[in-house]
Structure 1
Amino acid sequence: MSRPEDRASGKDRPEPPERPTVTARNLSCGYRSKAILTGVDLEVRTGEVLCLLGPNGVGKTTLFRTLLGSLPPVEGRVEISSRERSRLSRREMARHIAYVPQLHEPPFAFSVFDVALTGCVSRLGLLDSPSRRDRRRTEEVLDRLGIAHLSARPFTELSGGEQQMALIARALVQDGRILVMDEPAAALDLRNQATVLRCVRDLADERHGVLMTSHNPDHAFLVATRAVLITRDREILSGPVDEVLTEDNLRAAYGTRVRVLEATSPDGEAMRTCLPSLYLV
């Protein structure tokens, strides 16, 4: 896989990112008016991937929940397509943002088709059922993601990578311009990680915006345009991936010595990779 900067060169250069679709300005987030994170500024634009990284317990989930509307900001504001998020209904939010959670096992063995079809729920009335158009849209999305052959398979019988692709299909059926992904490649083997990360990259190339969390800086090096890194002291560092994910910044975030190495992908593309020390400091 090449980095976004490498893919943006030459005659196949994608169009530049559009105006921000999700914006946080001077955002403080937490619980019961007690801030856990303060001074968060970020933008998620269509056509790019923003990767959120940091150690456990620094507030990544709290920030996610605030951006998605599950928690009110302690201070600051979140805007969705230039409208204050608090003024949007859940249905209106769903038209802009589709959430892809970490892998979970549903209580019933729904088929892959039915899992993906639930993405249209935000467009339905209380007593409405999915239309033929919704079903055709679901078929098209499954085919586009290369998992149409899994359509009738129970979700619970799939591999981790296949399950993650089914959840991405559900988000695409929902048709939000921004996809918010919580650890999309977590707990997957290398092959499935590559499948999911390639899909993330392709979604950005197709003018979706992606906000994803990861514990692995290599995922950001592979697919992200920009990064937000939260350190152990809850300092927030943001900017282009190569400027944010430096050895010093990663050490401040994770408390271990880190080497960021230049490497070459099997396709001959220049890339970076992160090698942590075995000894904490």
Structure 2
Amino acid sequence: MLTVNDLTFSYGRQRVLKNISFQIRKGELCALFGPNGTGKTTLFKCCLKFLVPDSGTVRINGKDIRGLPPRQMARLVAYVPQAHHCAFPFTVSQMVLMGRTPHLNRFFTPGAKDRKLADQAMQTLGISHLSDTAYNRLSGGQQQMVLIARAIAQQTGLIFLDEPAAALDFKNQINLWQTLQTIAEQGTAILACTHDPNHVSWFCHSTVVLDRSGLLAKGSPGQVMTQEMMDRIYGDACRVWNINGLKIMVPGTMDTGTTNIVAFPGNRKGIHHK
């Protein structure tokens, strides 16, 4: 669904991305991982045609995005940014229904199918009870769930998520990542930027790791999220433990000999990697 080949981008004289190449297949939940300032959001913007790269190509479903008009792009890929500010008091259901815009007729009138898909997306995220609430009165975490529901309602084969769980409490973080797994299993490719190595390890099929030198690693979390990789990214800030077959990243100061560990809260449905 997504092929990035030798992508390079600079802000003036400052090189941000250099020769970045990777692929994401249909039905794959891929994490974009790395420290702050390594170009993750810039990579998103290049893939979405918000920025024009210095060189390299991006293909979505085999099509070079340079030849795609905005409406066709919107039918191929959905995007959820880190933050979204809305000055108008649209209701949650109206916001989610906006995800159907690329598929509407020339009069931009939503039909029964569009409303049904919007309702299903709200149900998937567990926010149906907020449908009549003004979006700009919600908490940051609730707004994020609405934007993700809007992306689901858009019914694209590829979704970009920029730190989707950043504003959510722990329970909703887990619920969200499990929902993303389910969406991927239904055939959607997802590229999700995250700063939490545990989310990468617990939930994702693959990961692309960036550092200031460029593409540091790509592959399955089991192969990539190692102690050596964490040391290279964060120095001695964290340790990689294997608890009952589950890989967990903990602060580097924690002592395994004096700590009781519960491997994972709740059920472990959908945790693929060890």
Name the TM-score, length of structure 1 as normaliser.
0.83
Which residue is 1:5 aligned to?
none
Q: Find the aligned partners of 2:90 and 2:101 in 1 and give their Cα distance.
A: 15
Task: Note if 1:250 corresponds to 2:225.
Answer: no
* TM-superposed deviation, 1:197: 1.4
CA contact (8 A) 1:48 1:210 kept: yes
- Give the whole-Å Cα distance in 2 for the aligned partners of 1:241 and 1:35: 27
Contact 1:161 1:193 in 2 (8 A): no
Q: Name 1:137's counterpart in structure 2.
A: 117
Which residue identity lines up with residue 226 of structure 2 in the other structure?
T
Q: Any idea what SS the aligned residue of 1:256 has?
A: coil
Question: How far 1:169 moved relative to its partner?
Answer: 1.2
Change (3 A) 1:257 1:138: closer
Q: Which stretches in structure 2 are left out of the alignment for 5+ residues? A: 255-274
Corresponding position: 1:112 with 2:87:
no
Aligned equivalent of 2:42: 62
Q: 1:36 to 1:103 in 2, by over 3 A?
A: closer
Overall identity of the aligned pairs, in %: 35
1:23-172 matches, within 5 Å, as: 23-32=3-12, 35-124=15-104, 127-172=107-152
Supply the RMSD in Å over aligned alpha carbons: 2.1
State whether residues 124 and 179 of structure 2, in contact with CA within 8 Å, keep that contact through their aligned partners in structure 1. Answer: no
* 1:80 partner letter: I
| 1:139 aligned partner, one-letter code | D
The structural deviation recorded for 1:126 is 5.8
CA separation of 1:30/1:71 partners in 2, compared to 1, >3 Å: closer, same or farther? same
Q: Which runs of 5+ in 1 are unaligned?
A: 1-20, 265-269
SS of the residue corresponding to residue 159 of structure 2 reads strand
Alignment of 1:277 with 2:249, yes or no, is no
Aligned ranges 1:228-247 → 2 under 5 Å: 228-247=208-227
> Counterparts of 2:114 and 2:31 in 1: how far apart (Å)?
31
Residues 206-254 of structure 1: CA deviation (Å, up to 9, x unaligned): 2111100011101101211111111243342111112111111122122
In structure 2, the residue matched to 1:180 is 160
Distance 1:235 1:158, change over 3 A: same
> For 1:31 and 1:161, how far apart are their aligned partners in 2?
31
Work out the CA distance in 2 between the residues paired with 1:169 and 1:155. 13
Kept after mapping to 2: 8 A contact 1:30/1:62: no
What count of residue pairs does the alignment treat as equivalent? 254
SS of 1:50's equivalent?
Answer: strand
Stretch moving more, 132-141 or 88-97: 132-141
Q: Deviations over 1:102-133 (max 9, x none)?
A: 24342122211011011012223564232333
**TM-score, with structure 2 as normaliser:** 0.85
SS in 2 for 1:108: coil
Structure 2 counterpart of 1:274, one-letter code? M
